Structure 1
């Protein structure tokens, strides 16, 4: 199968003998610009420094190559990718459905669910479902959503205000950010200073 125009030839980084161009723009191991050199000279410099010649910008004319330890480079880039995945936070939207003429006990149960979701760090989409003649009284749903927002205001804030959507009225609550807790080792010296 032949490569079609515009398709990437290879996504893998080319190093040392895999770089097949007559000349490259060479960057030294400490980031200094060496200049445009023949590929043979660049490979010889890499061998003398006991480093790899790594292509860092294949699209440039001529391609940019850097002298570096490729194994260390791959390890550090894998560490950075792992760290960025760890720092990503997956937001989940939970849904809680209510009716405009909800009983007090049922309301308290639904409110406890919303509180539990917010404490778990999840967003909550609260939906009021209107049926029949209830659709002519959207203010009942609006007041119920406002009451719920006030009841859970210490745990969550209104991210999307109540809005009518056909037979439903929806509102989105987002958890409030909790202050980051410092480890006990950092707190101990700070507490010891005022006594001195």
Structure 2
């Protein structure tokens, strides 16, 4: 946990980079301000060369033999390094682990509430540590806690993946969950919405004609046909 600045009594971080007169070795390997290799020379000579160009002599590889120095604008160099560090930190993904606790005999209403918290944490791309707390003789029935955790995983569906299966540690049973790939990629859709879309896209029974063993039914009236009526034969009186 970070210490508030007004209570922090640690000395400020000191810049350990050796610059100009702080470079005490007798000779150095010099790189020019254009990146070209100048070669090995005495330190005082390299310092004069940097001062003639109104730049600084900065040690960039102190472990080399002789150490490698570069002629550059040190204030600008520090600014660029700070910006690179800031950009790299921005792209880092900070993983937060949340914890939520259940009891083996939890009521359905409390279970639904805590399950909602777990879903909210996972949608926020946080890991969740689920803990079942046993009291007294409850610890003699660990299967109740395991069944509760398995029920939770089944209810969460595809929003989570199990990183650590239920394990009993003392009087607590723990399980570790993390967001699924769909959540991390931003493609996860709640099950209720998926089912709603499926109903909307399905066929409408009123608009679908069902034809069994014949031509397709039409609304046009049947064509009239002439039927010849036979004339009865004359009979003798």
Smaller-chain TM-score bracket: 0.7 to 0.9
Partner Cα separation in structure 1 for residue 147 and residue 186 of structure 2 = 34
Cα offset, 1:75, TM superposition:
0.7
List alignment gaps of at least 5 residues for structure 1.
1-9, 182-196
Which of 31, 55, 58 is matched with 1:54 structurally? Answer: 58
- 2:132 matched to which residue of 1? 128
Is residue 2:163 matched to residue 1:173? Answer: no
- 2:155 matched to which residue of 1? 151
Partner Cα separation in structure 2 for residue 17 and residue 92 of structure 1 = 45
Which of 108, 111, 120 is matched with 1:107 structurally? Answer: 111
- 2:11 matched to which residue of 1? none
Residue-by-residue CA offset, 1:73-114 (whole Å, 9 max, x unaligned):
111011112223323333332221112222222211111111
**TM-score, structure 1 normalization:** 0.76
Paired residue secondary structure (2:151): helix
| Structure with higher strand content | 1
Partner Cα separation in structure 1 for residue 60 and residue 81 of structure 2 = 13
Residues 179 and 104 of structure 1: CA distance in aligned 2, closer, same or farther (over 3 Å): same
Partner Cα separation in structure 2 for residue 21 and residue 86 of structure 1 = 38
Partner Cα separation in structure 2 for residue 81 and residue 140 of structure 1 = 49
Residues 51 and 11 of structure 1: CA distance in aligned 2, closer, same or farther (over 3 Å): closer
In the TM superposition, 1:11-160 aligns within 5 A as 11-160=15-164
Deviates more, 1:171-180 or 1:76-85: 171-180
Paired residue secondary structure (2:158): coil
Larger radius of gyration, structure 1 or 2? 2
Deviates more, 1:79-88 or 1:156-165: 79-88
List alignment gaps of at least 5 residues for structure 2.
1-13, 188-237
- 1:5 matched to which residue of 2? none
Q: Supply the RMSD in Å over aligned alpha carbons.
A: 2.3
